[in-house]
Amino acid sequence: MHTPRLSFLLPVLALLPLFAACKDEAKDKTPDFLSIGEFSVNRKAAYTEVRDGAGRALALVPRGAPHPAGFSPAMVVEAPVRRVVAYRPFETGILKALGEEESIVGVTYPRDKWAVDYMRRGFDEGRIAFVGDFSRVDYERIKAQHPDLVLTWDPSIVPMMDSLGIPTVVTSTPVATCLNTHIRFVEFIAPFFGKEAQAQDYYRKLRAALESIRARTRGMPQPKAMWGDIFEKRVLVEPGNAWVSELIGLAQSDYLFDDVYGTSCIEISTERFLYSGKDADIYFTYRTPDRGATSKAALARTNPLLARVRPLGPEGRTYAPLPHYAQSADRLDEILTEIAAILHPQAYPGHELRFFVELPDEDPAPAKDR
């Protein structure tokens, strides 16, 4: 049986250590050891050992310093990193937050898929190259960009990168990233670039946003929300251990897949999706407007079963992410606040949507020729 009260309490309890640690962090002293979900940073005398999402240990050493024993050449990263290939837009946003967008030299999205100016500018200047689709990257293109580091969610490329002598960090984990890890991931990336101070500034901004969300939504009615989509062959949702689920719970709302556990975009049955959908008040679709999410009716046409989801009718609200949503990790505090404003518009009067769009019932009628 679904338990709304438990779905709210668990994320809040999980975040209590996060907020309790704030007093220590205010001293601006970087601890010698950081545990950030599956990731870690362990500062030693001559180098820094980092452990990535695949559990691999790499050594960060100052440029020109001797490499420590016990690490193959491809497992040693000379810091600060100057040239990086990044698979996910989330990582490019983190680099932007650290002021390191100029270090990006390769990505797995072509220029026309980018909606943020700094990435388009990098392509136009000839600094950033499209290194192939994430499912079939061109290793020669990667090599030609001479990266100091590759950030990837795909562990399968590690053997090839090792053979090329290019250090690789796996930024994904076997299960979805929780809210705490999501907002602190910057602390894992920062040591590669010597930007720990900037990471702390960014983290404080996100922490303040969460504290504000918790305060502004306290005592509000709990709407029921769902996040996912029915595709041609699969039904995918954000599980209850994902950061969006925990944020929804923190914002005094009830996430309808909070009993689902696993990786982000996890597959569930159509029956389960529709069962939860009949009780939902708010629906977040994965589809952007350029992929069919222009209205409730248009979204339902992508798969007739979606018409059974309550928010696609007159009694609920449906939201689609705009193209730059996934590319704006540098503005994550604004994204967190916007999701809270969608859940509780009465707590955020006058809020203008910047990362999502509320879908109308029908697409506007085409203008008649005059």
Residue 95 has pLDDT above 50, yes or no: yes
Final residue belonging to a domain, choices 179, 194, 209 = 194
Closest CA relative to residue 151, chosen from 128, 168, 132, 126? 168
Task: Examine residue 239 and say whether the peptide bond preceding it is cis (omega within 30 degrees of 0).
Answer: no
Asked if residue 22 is part of any domain, the answer here is: no
Examine residue 284 and state whether it is found in any structural domain, yes or no: yes
**365, part of any domain:** no
Q: How confident is the model over 299-303, as a mean pLDDT?
A: 92
Residue 203 placed within a domain: no
Q: Quick one: pLDDT at residue 134?
A: 85
3-state secondary structure 155-204: HHHHHHHHHHCCCEEECCCCCCCCHHHHHHHHHHHHHHCCCHHHHHHHHH
269 and 126 inside one domain: no
**What is the C-alpha separation between 280 and 256, in angstroms, rounded?**
7
Which residues have CB under 8 Å from 209's CB, separation 6+?
A: 333, 334, 336, 337
Answer yes or no: is pLDDT of 9 > 90.
Answer: no
Q: Which of 194, 226, 254 is the last residue of a domain?
A: 194
The pLDDT tens digits of the residues spanning 43-80 come to 999 999 999 999 999 999 999 999 999 999 999 999 99
Rounded CA separation 72/279 (Å): 54
Domains identified in the chain, total number = 2
Whether residues 162 and 235 fall in one domain: no
Alpha-carbon span 174 to 264, nearest angstrom: 9
In the three-class reduction of DSSP (H, G, I as helix; E, B as strand; rest coil), residue 84 is classed as strand
48 in the same domain as 183: yes
Residues 128, 225 within the same domain: no
Cβ proximity of 257 and 245 under 8 Å: yes
Q: Does residue 204 form part of some domain?
A: no
The whole-angstrom separation of Cα 265 and Cα 134 is 16
What percentage of the chain has pLDDT greater than the value 70?
A: 91
Q: State the pLDDT at residue 204.
A: 97
- CATH number for the domain that contains residue 187: 3.40.50.1980
Q: Report the pLDDT value the prediction gives residue 212, as an integer from 0 to 100.
A: 98
Q: How far apart are CA 193 and CA 101, in angstroms?
A: 11
Q: In b/e form, how buried is each residue of 324-334, taking b as 16+ CB within 10 angstroms?
A: bbbbbbbbbbe
pLDDT digits (tens, 9 = 90+) for 248-291: 999 999 999 999 999 999 999 999 999 999 999 999 999 999 99
**Which pLDDT belongs to residue 68?**
96
Residue type, 322: L
Residue 79 sits in which domain range?
31-194
pLDDT in the model for residue 28: 52
Indicate the burial class of 236 (C-beta count within 10 angstroms; 0-12, 13-18, 19 or more): middle
CA separation for the pair 281, 279 (Å, rounded): 7
Q: DSSP letters along 239-260, please?
A: -TTSHHHHHHHHTT-EETTTT-
The pLDDT, as a whole number, for residue 3 is: 37
Tell me which of 194, 228, 251 is where a domain ends: 194
Q: Do 270 and 175 fall into the same domain?
A: no
Distances (CA, A) of 72 to 125, 163, 339: 34, 11, 44
Q: For residue 14, count CB atoms less than 10 angstroms from its CB and return exposed for 0-12, middle for 13-18, buried for 19 or more.
A: middle
Task: Count CA atoms closer than 13 A to 303's CA, side-chain side.
Answer: 17
Share of the chain above pLDDT 90, in %: 87
Q: Are residues 120 and 155 in the same domain?
A: yes
Check whether residue 187 and residue 125 sit in a common domain.
Answer: yes
Residue whose tokens read 């101070």: 197
Residues 170 and 235 in one domain: no
The reported pTM is: 0.90
Q: Kindly indicate the confidence band of residue 308, based on its pLDDT and cuts at 50, 70 and 90.
A: very high
Residue 2: per-residue pLDDT: 40
**Residue 26, in any domain of the structure:** no
Q: Which residue has the higher pLDDT, 32 or 247?
A: 247
Q: What is the pLDDT of residue 365?
A: 74
pLDDT at 328 over 90: yes
How far apart CA 133 and CA 281 sit, in angstroms, is 36
User: CA separation (Å) from 66 to 50, 59, 146, 147, 163?
Assistant: 17, 11, 21, 20, 21
pLDDT at res. 189: 98
Average pLDDT, the chain: 91
User: In terms of domains, do 243 and 281 share one?
Assistant: yes
Contact 11, 179 (CB under 8 A): yes
48/121 same-domain check: yes
The pLDDT confidence band at residue 29, using thresholds 50, 70 and 90, is low
Interatomic CA distance for residues 32 and 85, integer angstroms: 27
Looking at the predicted structure, is the pLDDT value of residue 314 above 60? yes
Both 231 and 190 in one domain: the answer is no
- For residue 213, is it within any domain? no
Tens of pLDDT, residue by residue over 189-226, are: 999 999 999 999 999 999 999 999 999 999 999 999 99
**Which residue in 65, 60, 97 sits closest to 81, CA to CA?**
60
pLDDT tops 90 at residue 21 = no
Q: Quick one: pLDDT at residue 290?
A: 93
pLDDT in tens, 134-171: 889 999 999 999 999 999 999 999 999 999 999 999 99
- The reply to whether 102 and 225 lie within a common domain is no
Q: Is residue 21 part of a domain?
A: no
Q: Once rounded to an integer, what is the mean pLDDT over residues 6-32?
A: 45
Structure tokens at 81: 């990193």
